[in-house]
Structure 1
């Protein structure tokens, strides 16, 4: 498959073998994820007794490119604030969407609310 931006929900669906994992798998090799969203994935995988090193290794084992969240992306993410309430967008969601806007590629997510606003990017639901 070609390039895309992966939301934390898509990566978690893949890692946890949830509904939609089969739709995520073909996109992983060409996938980007914001470091903010990679942190969100690790936070969700963090369980008592599970070593952080194991979580980091698991996330790094997924064939996706982790993109640092820099000032330029912060500026783009800030332009999404007006949509935050309507589409229930967290800051991490805006980090993901802003990366999709900057890269000009589809965004894969399980968050249905994202499709309720027109951001001018291709949002693909995995379930």
Structure 2
């Protein structure tokens, strides 16, 4: 099996909305290589509910993605917190930093639709959707 890939919430949402670059996420999902932090899963759930999907529909969508959902643990919390100062100027959210931390700790690439991640020097390989 090829290497796993951490997905940012923006990548999952782009996939679900058939936005530009969604094919990259599709490939990862079909091959069962996608990992999502619980923090980013919460973001996706919130955005889908905000868009008007019923809770049962959102649960079904999330289950059908067949992602490996990675718990946000103490080590990730610490590393995510440390990223706040170095990424403040770029404006990374907690979810962004949690995603990057997961990728960093697992030594995996990350897929995102957030273009400003290209400005980061975190040691994480960032794959842009667009």
Structure 1 residue aligned with 2:26:
25
Gap runs ≥5 in structure 2: none
1:51 to 50, 54, 63: 54
TM-score (norm 1): 0.93
Structure 1 residue aligned with 2:93:
90
TM-score (norm 2): 0.91
* Cα distance in 2 between the residues matched to 1:49 and 1:32: 25
Aligned CA distance change for structure 1 residues 83 and 63 (closer, same or farther; 3 Å): same
Structure 1 residue aligned with 2:68:
65
Structure 1 vs Structure 2 CA RMSD: 1.4
Aligned residues: 127
Tell me by how many angstroms 1:48 deviates.
6.8
* Cα distance in 1 between the residues matched to 2:108 and 2:23: 20
Tell me by how many angstroms 1:49 deviates.
5.4
* Cα distance in 1 between the residues matched to 2:51 and 2:100: 31
